[in-house]
Chain A
Amino acid sequence: MNFRKLVQWFWDFAGAVSVRTKILGIVLGFILLLGAGVTLQARYALTATLTAQLEEQSISISRDLAARAADPILLNDLLSLHDLLDETLANNPNVRYAFLVDKNGQVIAHTFGDGFPLGLLSLNSAAPDEHHHTALIQTDEGLVWDTAVPILGGKIGTARIGLSDASMQAALSTLTAQLLLTIVLVSAAGVLVAVFLTWILTRPILGLVAATQAVAKGDFTPRVPRWADDEIGDLADAFNAMTEELAHTEELRRERESLRRQLMEKVIATQEDERRRIARELHDSTSQNLTSLIVGLRMMEAQCANCASITKAADLRAVASHTLEEVHDLSMRLRPRVLDDLGLAAALERLAHEWQARYKIPVDVVIQLNERLPGEIETALYRIVQEALTNIARHAQAKSASILIEKHGDAVRAIVEDDGVGFDPSAQRGERHLGLLGMRERAELLGGTLTIESAPERGASVFIEIPLAPQPATLDLRP
């Protein structure tokens, strides 16, 4: 479990840092591991060598002392013995102490000055037949290699030498310090190398990231240079191939979109023309005929006052009048003449008036336009508002609605609001969705935008903005 935690921790950690940090980590980790290993090994080897040297030195110095001390001991020449010990101490910086013990264990001469650490005496000794005997002693000044050598086969005593390992420890410390310094310097160099490597590695990756972001925004022009003949170079090539493919596809899509729009424009224009023609036909021909019929029927009523068919004629005139009203109404809805004759404001006010009369929902209409707008804009706005009002009547259960049309800079803006039940604009399907799509399509064909703001129980607002300056209608690239 712990291992899994460790692995989890590692992935959390490795996943949270950048490539730069990872490479830095690899380089530094490698240097530190190698440095630690080399330091340990070097210390181990040096310690082994120095320890062996120290022991050898200890043996050779004490045997030399034992040999040179024999005569002065035999002659009881204490001055020479002291000189000998002092000389031994002076000539060998590692020697911490030296002393001579007679065969009864009494100290004859020593280098400690005004006293003697008595505990030292029993810690080491050499049998008469021994070449030497070395023991390691812990002292307040560190470890001491104590070597005892019998003098003249132990007949007259023992020479004892203590070699401090301070110089060895100093050498070890120096070595360690130098190695650690080297590690630090190499680490610093490693960081530089790692930064350079990171730069080499991440430069193409960052280029790829920038290019990807550009492509995401629809800009297919950037091409990623192939910096190196490696995996990232392959990736760059693949990316460039993909971008070209995308650009090609996008071009096709644009062409299709353009065709679709042209088709749509044509369909709408044709539809409007057809409606206009039918409306005019209804108005000019059918209405005239119906009016002639009504006039004829009235004349017929007047000419034969007691005619039995008076009642019948009156009934027919009523039917004809009703049909005439319906034809007017149909003509109006197909294509209000007022839109062509008096403009958008008059047409919308009339539309609102009729809608209000029919659905019994008050509509507040505010139209702030000083001049007439281009015909296609007026038609589009009229149809959008018409569709919006139809939607309100069908779905909104609204208590009131409002229409605002105003000129805003180089654009005309329209807002249709209601206080009905509202809906989720992103979740629309079916007929209503098609209606909304048609509204948007009309706005976008003229280079405009249509935005719907609504939420359940919050009413709905439809914002339309259409530029007045003639504009290519194909800039919007969203699929």
Chain B
Amino acid sequence: MSRFPSTIYQLLILLIFLASCSPLPQPPIVGAVNLNDLQPLPTPLNTEAVPLRVAIAAVISPKGTLESYSPFLSYLEAKLNRPVELIQRRTYLEVNDLIEHGEVDLAFVCTSAYVQGHDTFGMELLAAPQVDGKTTYNSLLIVPASSPAQSMEDLRGKVFAFTDPISLSGRVYPTSIVQKLGFTPEEFFARTFFTYSHDEAIRAVAGGVADGAAVDSLVYAFAVTRDPSLAEKVRIIHVSPDFGIPPVVVSPFIRPQVKAELQTLLLDMASDPAAREALASIGVERFVLIDDSAYDSVRTLVSEIPIPQTP
């Protein structure tokens, strides 16, 4: 009898032992690491070649920009035989800042951003894309397909989507229309908001989030090409006069040889079969030279509309 309790005890221990070491159905362990052994991250090693830094203003959303411009950047990389770094920022002004301080070499900017950059710190024109044989574009006033609005007057008291605070097609032009009607946008619309890119503005109108928006005609055409169903969801009620197309610019700090090399490269792209995909993917036929005077009409318009320095 005295042996019995100790046997129960041993059985219980065996039981606990068995219960705590049942096999776990799991994949093999790939390695071990101490999560509390924290070390400073190493400073990234400088790449052997200095990359060409290309900024692209947020005309379309960052992801869309990456997808569209990847073939173009790859082409540049191959031609220049040096890495190309894509830099994006949320607003046009941020990109302008980068250009102003020489932190980017090449930039695709919006028309009004060029005008502002050129006039304030000497942003230099490199080339202009040519689309449908033209180097101009328009601002399109769009509303949802179901909307009864026929003109800007009908959008009074509605929700309006601006793209970027200094976007010509997305904010400056529609603001000028509202001002001609005798209002500020804040008075005219029930509410306004910024989408920071034109494809997002189209999406906002197509989805009914905004009752109206003004967008870049180039982006609109590009977006409709990619997603034809968009054309059924939005309706264009107004087309602006032609404006100078958003140009390709360089920083005032860039070395003249590099600028010349880049300019030649861009201008020769149309005749290079290898560049076809790169051009098609950004919806450009070719790059052409353009004179600053092409942007004078924009300059006039912009001077009438105060541009906020902070978005």
Hey, which bits of chain A sit against chain B, CB under 8 A? 13, 16-18, 21, 24-25, 28-29, 32, 35-36, 39-40, 43-44, 47-48, 51, 70-71, 74-77, 96-97, 104, 106-107, 112-120, 123-124, 134-141, 143-144, 152, 155-156, 162, 176, 179-180, 183
Contact = CB atoms under 8 A, between A and B. Distances in A.
B88 interface: yes
B4 A139 contact: no
Interface string B1-25: 1011000100110111011101111
Contacts of A13: 3
Nearest to B56: A74
Given A43-B22, A117-B39, A75 B89 contact: yes
B120 interface: no
Contacts of A115: 38-41
B95 to A, nearest CB: 10
Contacts of A144: 35
Nearest to A97: B35
A123 B61 CA distance: 33
Contacts of B30: 123-124, 135-137
Contacts of A116: 38-41
A113 B15 CA distance: 43
A124 to B, nearest CB: 7
B45 to A, nearest CB: 9
Nearest to A18: B1
B4 A25 contact: yes
Interface string B26-47: 1111111111111111101000
B90 interface: yes
Contacts of B61: 71
Interface in B266-307: none
Give the bracket for the number of chain B residues in contact with chain A: 35 or more
Interface in B41-91: 41-42, 44, 58, 61-63, 65-66, 70, 86-90
Contact of B36 (A18, A140, A143): A140
A117 B63 contact: no
Given A120-B35, A140-B36, A47 B22 contact: yes
Given A137-B31, A138-B29, A32 B12 contact: yes
A106 B25 contact: no
Contacts of A123: 30-31, 33
A404 to B, nearest CB: 53
Nearest to B87: A76
8 contacts: A28-B11, A40-B19, A47-B22, A115-B39, A117-B33, A117-B38, A118-B41, A119-B37
Given A143-B26, A180-B19, 16 more contacts: A17-B1, A17-B4, A32-B15, A44-B23, A75-B62, A76-B89, A115-B41, A116-B40, A123-B30, A138-B29, A138-B32, A139-B32, A139-B33, A141-B36, A155-B66, A183-B15
B66 A139 contact: no
A43 B19 contact: yes
B67 to A, nearest CB: 8
A71 B8 CA distance: 64
B25 A32 contact: no
Contacts of B25: 44, 47-48, 51
Interface in B183-210: none
A144 B38 CA distance: 17
Contact of B27 (A24, A29, A104, A136): A136
Contacts of A96: 35
A17 B62 CA distance: 83
3 nearest A-B residue pairs (beta carbon): A115-B38, A74-B62, A138-B32
A180 B16 contact: yes
Interface of B: 1, 3-4, 8, 11-12, 14-16, 18-20, 22-42, 44, 58, 61-63, 65-66, 70, 86-90
Contacts of A135: 27, 30-31
A396 B221 CA distance: 148
A74 B38 contact: no
A76 B85 CA distance: 12
Contacts of A21: 1, 4
Nearest to B38: A115
Contacts of B18: 36, 39-40
A107 to B, nearest CB: 5
A141 B44 contact: no
Nearest to A173: B20
Nearest to B28: A136
B39 A104 contact: no
A40 B30 CA distance: 26
Which has the most chain A C-beta neighbours within 10 Å: B22, B29, B42, B61?
B22
B66 A143 contact: no
A115 B22 CA distance: 37
A176 B21 CA distance: 11
Given A28-B8, A136-B28, A75 B35 contact: no
A141 B41 CA distance: 21
A36 B4 contact: no
Contacts of A155: 66, 70
Which has the most chain A C-beta neighbours within 10 Å: B8, B15, B42, B87?
B15
Nearest to A118: B39
B256 to A, nearest CB: 28
Nearest to B34: A140
B35 A117 contact: yes
A366 to B, nearest CB: 57
B82 to A, nearest CB: 15
B290 to A, nearest CB: 28
Given A43-B19, A74-B88, A113 B38 contact: yes
A44 B26 CA distance: 11
Contact of A39 (B19, B31, B36, B42): B19
B24 A75 contact: no
Contact of B63 (A71, A118, A136): A71
A51 B4 CA distance: 40
A36 B15 contact: yes
A398 to B, nearest CB: 56
A138 B32 CA distance: 4
Contacts of B1: 17-18, 21
B33 A76 contact: no
